[in-house]
Amino acid sequence: MTEADFIGAVDHLRGRRPDLTRIEAGLLAAPHLGLSPDTRSFAKVFDLAHAHVLRALSRLDEAGLVTVTERDPRTQRTHFAPTEAARTLFAEAA
């Protein structure tokens, strides 16, 4: 996967759901593209503040697009999985 592939996936997701921010679309694309299985890794790979990624993940959870599968109470590293709605959205965007 290249940077262009990732950006293309983010742009396609945002085309289907314009209400998504770039971080939110990136979080949705990451599991499908084999990237960043958790918020801390995602933040590090993309040089983002972990707090911003956590906020984006919270909005995705509220929208029913991800499910939190594990959270480290000390570091707040959060593992997540896309819901069926997110998988459908990603498939439609592809």
CATH of the domain at 52: 1.10.10.10
As a whole number of angstroms, the distance between CA 27 and CA 94 comes to 16
Split into its structural domains, the chain has a count of 1
pLDDT of residue 46: 92
pLDDT tops 90 at residue 1: no
The pLDDT confidence band at residue 93, using thresholds 50, 70 and 90, is low
Q: Tell me the one-letter amino acid at 7.
A: I
Domain span at residue 21?
3-93
The reported pLDDT for the residue numbered 34 is 86
Integer-rounded Cα Rg, in Å, for the chain is 12
Q: What is the pLDDT of residues 27-86, one digit of tens each?
A: 999 988 888 789 999 999 999 999 999 999 999 999 999 999 999 999 999 999 999 999
Taking alpha carbons only, the member of 73, 75, 86, 88 closest to residue 27 is 86
Chain CA centroid to CA 20, Å: 10
**What value does the mean pLDDT take over residues 17-30?**
95
Q: Which pLDDT score, from 0 to 100, does residue 94 have?
A: 61
